[in-house]
Amino acid sequence: MTETFVVGGKKVSLGPLLGKGGEGAVYNVSGNADIAVKIYNDGKAPERRDKIMAMVSANLSRTSDYVAFPLEVVTRQNGKFAGFSMKKVAGFKTVHDLYGPGSRRTEFPTADVRFLVRAAYNLSSAIASIHRSGCVVGDINHSGILVSTKALVTLIDSDSFQFRNGGQTFRSLVGVAEYTPAELQGVSFERTDRTSNHDAFGLAVLLFQLLYLGRHPYAGRYSGGDMDIKTAIAQRRFAYSDRRAETQMEPPPHVPALNDYGDEVKAAFERAFSRAAETGTRPSALDWVGIIDRLQTNLITCEIDKSHHYHKFKGRCPWCKLEAGIGRSLFTAQLATPTPSSMANIGQVIAHIGRMNSPANPPSAENVMPPVRDLKVSAAARGKRSSRGIGMVSALSAAAAGAFVTFTVQPLVGIILTVGSLIWFFNVKNQSSPFETELRTATAAWHQQRQLWEKHAGPEHFNERKAHFLTLAANHSALPQRERERLEELDRKKRDLQMRKYMESHLLDRAKVPSIGPGRKATLASYGIETAWDAKSKRITNIPGFGPAMQEKLRTWSKSVERKFVFNANIPTDPQAIREVKTDIARQRAELERDLLKAPAELQKIYDDATKLRANPPASLVEAHRRMKQAELDCGKKI
């Protein structure tokens, strides 16, 4: 472009094109590396003139370092409004390149979990600064947010922000459905004032995508059938919520859990995506600054993979579990290489485990029970026995009376009386005592407690754990051979690896696939479908909105990428594939060694606990024995 423009009273020539959109294009400025200019298309310039002049007049560029606000008005040489100048954003990439695992491997190869959290903090700070300036982003979405390799954040497209100047409101006229709250779905943006609470919804979606591997919070499995993201937002169906009975949604497979970043972050997302939040109670950008700042202070580093960071109140690293489930690394692993001394140490530990002796067999549980000579038949049992005795004596007396009547007065009446009395006698005699039920229950409880005590007071529990650790030791010894076998397998599959790497370089987000727009791409990303390789190798069934016709469109695109692949036998085995194998083996080694190093202490504790249990039976066992003996005494027999 050779036309000369006027910026701040000075003539400037435009340099190379930086980017182009529906409204206009952004150019470098010749001789000024710090400034860029946006030149509107002829049809758009008159619509934007008053708003840009008001934003420049308000000196918005001084209110935030996070935003490429208009600096000066740009005119053509005839004085006609053309656009505006702004600070040049160099070395930044779209936030989608960061939160999408596929693109992150290429665009942000060194980013780890802490990097994602820091970017989330800076994004929250950026939106907070915009609100302090009096603006509302309005059309908040991933395309207008850029991130640097230091996790710094800059927002572009500031001319689309909602801005008030005196009594006039320049509205934000557009919006992306996947970042628009339910209360704004379907409304006319030309007639609607946006609020910071509306921005808070879009911010929460972006933060969720940053922290949860690019997954959209409303992409999941709906129990009632297909559910696209836009409809799920309109119906308030947050897929990760604990309110499953209400939302009828389940998150996609192989995703982080909502509480993986701690309870405060979980509660904030629940609040951001609740129906009640539509009244103005979503966490604000400033709220998120505090929440994520506290999260940063509570992050600890995984002892196995230094690229993993997780909340200190989590028991174990959730990222290790997640990566094991999906079969690949989500970040560039930072595993410690074992040294000869560490290998020797683990060898000594394994040998020590093998030499550890198990506890002796426990004595009979009855022999270690304290005496129960103080037990007496309970008052209830004495009363029951007395009542039973009286009943039996009464029955026998009645039978004797019946016999007398039979032989002296009236035989038939006497026989009836005698037989009835005898039936009464045997009924009373054989009547089940209520204490027999208690005796059976108490005896069963005693057997249960005794078996548990024998397991832990003797060698059984110790031997189970020792066998487990020896199995881990065998797996540890087999790792070098397993690594050699997997590397040899890579060499045999060189063609397949080359094709996979080629197809992984073709990102769905940057491709034009018929009928698959941003919304459907976001849904696919939430199910781990980001590249042509994902579309080829992963199941696309059961993804909302992707029936046979849509699946075929995706497969057609994947096949079109695959057809362009050309195998080169002279290229060595993919270094990344080799690195992934070595990383996986190293992670397995680190996990095994973590557990093995703790084994001696655990086994010694089990041994010591067994010794204590034999000398001092637990109260639960003693109480079960006493209860059974009391029941035997009350019942008058044993089972």
Tell me the pLDDT tens digit for each residue of 76-109. Answer: 999 999 999 999 988 899 999 999 988 998 899 9
CATH number at residue 63: 3.30.200.20
Given 326, 356, 387, which residue is the final one in a domain?
A: 326
- The pLDDT value given to residue 412: 72
Dist CA 5 CA 24 (whole Å): 15
Kindly state the DSSP code that residue 562 receives in the 8-state scheme: H
Looking up tokens 């002829």 gives 42
Residues 68 and 111 in one domain: no
The position carrying tokens 């060595």 is 572
User: What's the rounded Cα separation, in Å, for the pair 553 and 515?
Assistant: 8
pLDDT number for residue 612? 94
> pLDDT tens-digit profile of 421-471?
566 556 545 555 667 788 889 999 999 999 999 999 999 999 999 999 999
Last residue of a domain, one of 50, 65, 90: 90
Comparing CA positions, the residue from 622, 639, 635 lying closest to residue 372 is 622
Classified as helix, coil or strand, 418 is: helix
Judge whether 31 lies within some domain: yes
Q: 198: domain CATH number?
A: 1.10.510.10
User: Where are any strands of DSSP class E within 245-372?
Assistant: 249-250, 299-301, 309-311
pTM of the model: 0.77
Mean pLDDT of all residues in the chain?
89
Residue from 16, 143, 127, 20 nearest 92 by CA = 143
pLDDT digits (tens, 9 = 90+) for 142-159: 989 999 999 999 999 999
Residue 283 lies in a domain: yes
- 165 with 150, same domain: the answer is yes
User: Quick check: is 164 in a domain?
Assistant: yes
**Domain enclosing residue 251, as ranges:** 91-326
128 and 100 assigned to the same domain: yes
Query: Domain check: are 113 and 138 in the same one?
Result: yes
Residues 124 and 141 in one domain: yes
Residue 518 confidence (pLDDT): 84
- The torsion angles phi and psi of 42, rounded to 5 degrees, stand at -55, -35
Euclidean distance between CA atoms 41 and 343, whole angstroms: 67
Contact 128, 286 (CB under 8 A): yes
pLDDT for position 519 = 83
Q: What residues are paired with 300 via a beta bridge?
A: 310
Considering the domain boundaries, does residue 538 fall inside one? Answer: no
Residue 29 main-chain phi, psi, to 5 deg:
-110, 125
CA 459/CA 536 separation, integer angstroms = 53
Highest mean pLDDT among 13-27, 123-137, 377-391: 123-137
Same domain, residue pair 315 and 348: no
Q: What per-residue confidence (pLDDT) applies to 329? A: 85
- 250 and 101 in a single domain? The answer is yes
Last residue of a domain, one of 71, 90, 109: 90
Amino acid at 503: M
CA nearest neighbour of 523 among 229, 257, 176: 229
With a CB cutoff of 8 Å and minimum separation 6, the contacts of 630 are: 372, 375, 378, 442
* 452/495 same-domain check: yes
Q: Which residue has the higher pLDDT, 579 or 559?
A: 559
pLDDT confidence bin for 237, thresholds 50/70/90: very high
More confident residue, 529 or 341: 529
Written as six digits, the tokens of 449 are 């407690």
**83 and 97, same domain (yes or no):** no
Residue at 370 is within a domain: yes
pLDDT over threshold 60, residue 364: yes
What is the spatial distance between Cα 610 and Cα 514, in angstroms, rounded to a whole number? 68
Tally of domains in the chain = 3
Q: Return the pLDDT at 539.
A: 84
Has residue 335 got a pLDDT over 80? no
Report how far residue 537's alpha carbon sits from residue 558's, in angstroms, rounded to the nearest whole number: 10
pLDDT higher than threshold 90 for residue 575: no
- 343 falls in which pLDDT band (50, 70, 90)? low
pLDDT at 586 over 60: yes
- At 48 the pLDDT is 93
Q: Tell whether 143 and 181 lie within a shared domain.
A: yes
Is the domain of 460 the same as that of 608?
yes
Run of H or E residues at 250: strand 249-250
Q: How confident is the model at residue 135 (pLDDT cuts 50, 70, 90)?
A: very high
Indicate if 84 and 95 belong to the same structural domain.
no
Domain membership of residue 528 (yes or no) is no
Write out pLDDT tens, residues 256-313: 999 999 999 999 999 999 988 888 899 999 999 999 999 999 999 998 889 999 999 9
* CA 520 – CA 524 distance, rounded (Å): 6
Task: Evaluate whether residue 201 is within a structural domain.
Answer: yes
Higher pLDDT, 575 or 563: 563
Q: Give a yes or no: residue 175 inside a domain.
A: yes
